[in-house]
Amino acid sequence: MDSIYTLTQLLTNSGCEYQIYDLGRRIQPIDNALFSAVEQGQNPYPYPIQRHAQLAVAYWNEEKQPWIWFLKFPLDERGLLKQSDVGNFIKYVLEAMGSRLNKQLDEEQQQKLANNPYTFKPAEDKMAVFHSQLRASLDIATSQYYEHAQHYFSGGLGWENWQTVGLQGITDICARLNKEQNGVLIRKAISHLPSEPLYALLGGLEHIQLPDKLAEKIQGMALTECKSKEPDLFLLSALVRALSGADKTILQDVITTILDSPGLSHQEVLIGLAGRAWEALENPEAAEQFLLRIAQTGNQPLFNQLFADLVMLPALRIVFLPLLHNAPSQELADALIRLQQSVK
């Protein structure tokens, strides 16, 4: 048998279908061809977070019963996967399972495979979103909480009676916005929701490509919050993150409004923008204003952390790096000098 050096080879040779998902930033699928190029060192990992790739590998046979690995790999300074780490994980797989993946593992094999440094357990909310997305993509039945959540968002339970609504049901709806009128259901419900179900819903929407009408509704809520005399900055942060899957022009209007205002550019809002809605920073003017607002918080460690994290994103690297040598303002230049001094 030929040697196996990549997960792509391993999955392809086993005769399974598979899909890779990023779990670090927005939970979203990664094109198989792109991931193969990443594994071969031809492309940087597209969505790094804290210099790591956090991903889920889902693979399945003709019965569409998926097996899942949650994996975390360090990246080098260029954002490339270290092929030795992938190779080491594959050794654990081959020792536990052999080269054919489409079979159930006994308890000893499961323990053997779990005993490696590359697997990790995602946070509960991300697990819920991931499982909902995977089931929707494979057209597998929803969780038992789905219909009850639909009933709640229709207003049938009363808006204050949210305590029995399961998070998995909410993420199931988010993953199926284009089915059973769920997008319309959410759009009509969202302005009626108490804070607890609203935050849960917005958290699920962070990872979804939003229909324009729903995105415009959330945009309206965010702009209304921006105009408030005492804006709820935590709610504004949640609304910004939820808009990360919106059409770029819809998101950009909100980001511009926030970054134009020192009062709205609270670090909680800026952190949310960086973590989920970073694509808005591909615009150089927005990127410069974003970094200036972080500098103005006076929190240099936060500035250093967010700059170092965002500059690893391939789409932002070419926007952020030139600023190290040509900052548009003295205030930003000073923060960038302190950043560079901290890493010497």
**Angle, CA 269 vertex, CA 301 and CA 31 arms, to 5°:** 90
- From the CB of residue 200, how many other CB atoms can be counted at a distance below 10 Å? 22
Question: Is 226 inside any structural domain?
Answer: yes
What total of structural domains would you count in the chain?
3
My answer on whether 84 and 168 are in the same domain is: no
The mean pLDDT of 2-15, rounded to a whole number, is 87
Question: Is 27 inside any structural domain?
Answer: yes
pLDDT digits (tens, 9 = 90+) for 277-308: 999 999 999 999 999 999 999 999 999 999 99
The mean pLDDT of 159-172, rounded to a whole number, is 97
Burial code (b: 16+ CB inside 10 Å, e: under 16) for 233-266 equals bebbbbbbbbbbbbeeebbbbbbebbbeeeebbb
pLDDT at 206 over 80: yes
Averaged pLDDT score across all residues of the chain:
93
pLDDT digits (tens, 9 = 90+) for 90-109: 998 888 877 667 666 667 77
How confident is the model at residue 103, as a pLDDT? 65
pLDDT digits (tens, 9 = 90+) for 115-134: 889 999 999 999 999 999 99
Query: Whole domain around residue 336: which residue ranges?
Result: 216-344
Tracing tokens 């998070």 back to the chain, one arrives at 167
Question: Is 322 inside any structural domain?
Answer: yes
Question: Is 170 inside any structural domain?
Answer: yes
The mean pLDDT of 177-201, rounded to a whole number, is 97
How confident is the model at residue 100, as a pLDDT? 66
Lowest mean pLDDT among 29-43, 193-207, 320-334: 320-334
pLDDT at 182 over 50: yes
Question: Is 85 inside any structural domain?
Answer: yes
My answer on whether 253 and 314 are in the same domain is: yes
- Can you tell me the distance from the alpha carbon of 146 to that of 166, in angstroms, rounded to the nearest whole number? 8
pLDDT digits (tens, 9 = 90+) for 47-78: 999 999 999 999 988 778 888 999 999 999 99
**pTM for the structure as a whole:** 0.93
My answer on whether 113 and 130 are in the same domain is: no
How confident is the model at residue 2, as a pLDDT? 64
pLDDT at 246 over 80: yes
Question: Is 19 inside any structural domain?
Answer: yes
Q: Helix, strand, or coil here: 59?
A: strand
Beta bridge partners of 72: 54
How confident is the model at residue 1, as a pLDDT? 46
- Tell me the DSSP string of 167-180: HHHHHHHHTTTTST
My answer on whether 21 and 105 are in the same domain is: yes
Question: Is 302 inside any structural domain?
Answer: yes
- Can you tell me the distance from the alpha carbon of 35 to that of 230, in angstroms, rounded to the nearest whole number? 45
Question: Is 2 inside any structural domain?
Answer: no
My answer on whether 242 and 322 are in the same domain is: yes
